[in-house]
Amino acid sequence: MSTQFATAQQSTLRSAADSLGIDIGVAVDDNLLQNDSTYRNVISEQFNSVTAENGMKMETVQPSQGNFDFSQGDRLVQFAQQNNMSVHGHTLVWHSQSPNWVQNLSGAEMEQAMVDHITTTMNHFEGDVDSWDVANEVVENGQLRNSFWLQGIGSDYIETAYSAARQADPGADLYLNDYSIDGINSKSDRYYQLAQDLTSQGLLDGMGFQAHLILGQVPGDMEQNLQRFADLGLDVRVTELDVRIDMPASQQELQQQADDFERVVNICTNIADCSGVTVWGLRDGDSWVPDTFDGQGAPLLYNDDYSTKPAYDAVLAALGGSQPPPPTETTEPPGTTEPPPPSGDCSAVIEVVNDWGSGWQANVSVTGPTDGWTLSWNWPGSQGISSSWNADITESGSSVTASDVGWNGSIASGQTQQVFGFIGSGPAVEPSVTCSAG
């Protein structure tokens, strides 16, 4: 058996990222967090970092002057703490999703309001939010964006914001963040200057690259670009990754998308100071993309029924998680031939790993020898499978069959691999399973 196969034990994005010491994050929608237990469950199983998709933005946090509402952020922080995840804060100073009242101020009043917002928000989350996108999307057309902030306060507003942030929570990492700066271009060049400037004053810790990408268009110089920021002494981070496709997406496009995701994750793992990759939403239907780009969609790792897409497998593989054993790699001395694939005697076990009342999650492991497996079992009662990953499942009445999806089919004699998982409905059970090899 290949040595790589024997060591590829990380079967979730999270466990794989944990073993690399980097974040694999997801943007979280507050409504789904409150109301969808499968959503919560998949996120806590697969990700070790979260970002509020909207819940920590200024219009949410301070809808009228001096009235702070941290309820969405608090919910996210609580979820993160319960599940031992880090929190990346997004965002304090942005031209979009800012309340009207602040846009109507000017000069010293606007500056004071900006500083107050940063100070109160960061003080509130001190110790709970690890890093912040302090200013978001402040460059446009190679120069500082002509936002209400720039008009109201003047060009030193960015430095003022980062000074206030540094004072408010000296323990938090302070990031700049923007889109279309993934490769080397006039916009990322302007950020390079800004980053040098803030870094020289000790006001910046990280550079965030949103990476809202179009299928097949990971910039060829993305790694070089991130590396030049890392060389300033900064952490770099892919903060809002998605890869949009003209709908409907073909199998070939989904495979291209998988390659794009894999490339981006590889870029991060190739750079020592890349703190992680965050995907901008869990399921395709949760994404902002279809609302914004007519006819485009399917930009994320999960389908709407929580089944995984090829891009999920690619990210897992890029993080060094479970993947197909390379066909040529072997511990046999060169020149000997592989033994024929084992044909019999596999066994399998279903283990319930989480039960939240309205649903439950089980992981399934198979013990070899087998080169391909089909498992079958019967539900004792009203159980069913509402979603699954890494297996082809057929349910008919109370009987279920599950078979491998290719890369997770081969298991050496005596070796046990966690091969797939599912979300069950009805009362949680662990029925006995028959395993057929081949």
Active site positions, annotated: 137, 240
Identify the CA nearest to 271 among candidates 215, 303, 231, 318.
231
Residue 210 within binding range of ligand G2I, rule CB under 6 A: yes
**What token pair was written down for 197?**
């400037």
Q: How far is the CB of 333 from ligand G2I (least distance, A)?
A: 54
| CB nearer to ligand G2I: pick between 55 and 321 | 55
DSSP for 276-294 reads EEEES-SBGGG-SHHHHST
Min CB(51)–ligand G2I separation in Å: 9
Please, what is the minimum distance in Å from the beta carbon of residue 65 to ligand G2I? 21
Count of residues making up the chain: 438
* Among residues 71, 96, 155, 270, the one that binds ligand G2I under rule CB under 6 A: 96
Residues 6+ apart with CB under 8 A from 185: none
Q: Please choose, from the candidates 409, 419, 387, the residue with its C-alpha nearest in 3D space to the C-alpha of residue 306.
A: 387
Q: Which is nearer to ligand G2I, 26 or 402 (CB)?
A: 26
Residue at shortest CB range from ligand G2I: 288
CB of 330 to ligand G2I, least distance (A): 46
Minimum CB separation of residue 74 from ligand G2I in Å reads: 17
CA distances from 61 to 18, 85, 405 (A): 31, 22, 45
Any contact of residue 225 with ligand G2I (CB under 6 A)?
no
Q: Give the chain's end-to-end CA distance (angstroms, integer).
A: 17
Q: Do 59 and 99 contact (CB within 8 A), yes or no?
A: yes
Nearer to ligand G2I, 53 or 253 (CB): 53
How many Cα atoms sit within 13 Å of 266 on the Cβ side?
11
If binding is defined by CB under 6 A, does position 51 make contact with ligand G2I? no
Is residue 54 at the binding interface for ligand G2I, with CB under 6 A as the rule? yes
Q: Does 284 bind ligand G2I (CB under 6 A)?
A: no
Min separation Cβ 8 and ligand G2I, Å: 33
Contact 212, 249 (CB under 8 A): no
Q: How many CB atoms lie within 10 A of CB 366?
A: 25
Q: What are phi and psi of 251, to 5 degrees?
A: -55, -40
Nearest to 172 by CA among 208, 206, 136: 206
Contact between 288 and ligand G2I (CB under 6 A)? yes
Residues that contact ligand G2I, how many (by CB under 6 A): 9
The H or E element that residue 87 is part of is strand 86-93
Q: Which residues contact 328 (CB under 8 A, 6 or more apart)?
A: none
- By CB atoms closer than 10 A (0-12, 13-18, 19+), residue 202 is exposed
Nearer residue to ligand G2I within complex by CB, 97 or 200: 97
Q: Is the Cβ of residue 241 or residue 423 nearer to ligand G2I in the bound state? A: 241
Alpha helices in 302-418 (DSSP H): 310-318
Among 36, 173, 205, 240, binds ligand G2I (CB under 6 A): 240
Q: How far is the CB of 242 from ligand G2I (least distance, A)?
A: 9
Question: How far is residue 181's CA from residue 183's CA, in Å, rounded to a whole number?
Answer: 6
Q: Does 293 bind ligand G2I (CB under 6 A)?
A: no
Report how far residue 59's alpha carbon sits from residue 68's, in angstroms, rounded to the nearest whole number: 10
Please name the residue ranges forming H helices in 345-389.
none
Segment 172 to 201, residues that bind ligand G2I, using CB under 6 A: 179
Report the residue number, 97 or 106, with the smaller CB distance to ligand G2I.
97
Considering only residues 136 through 175, tell me which ones interact with ligand G2I, judged by CB under 6 A.
136
31 versus 401: smaller Cβ distance to ligand G2I:
31
Q: How far is the CB of 36 from ligand G2I (least distance, A)?
A: 15
**Nearer of residues 90 and 309 to ligand G2I, judged by Cβ:** 90
- For position 53 contacting ligand G2I by CB under 6 A, the verdict is yes
Which residues, numbered 356-415, are part of the site for ligand G2I (CB under 6 A)?
A: none
Restricting to residues 97-136, name those near ligand G2I by CB under 6 A.
97, 136
Would you tell me which residues interact with ligand G2I (CB under 6 A)?
A: 53-54, 96-97, 136, 179, 210, 240, 288
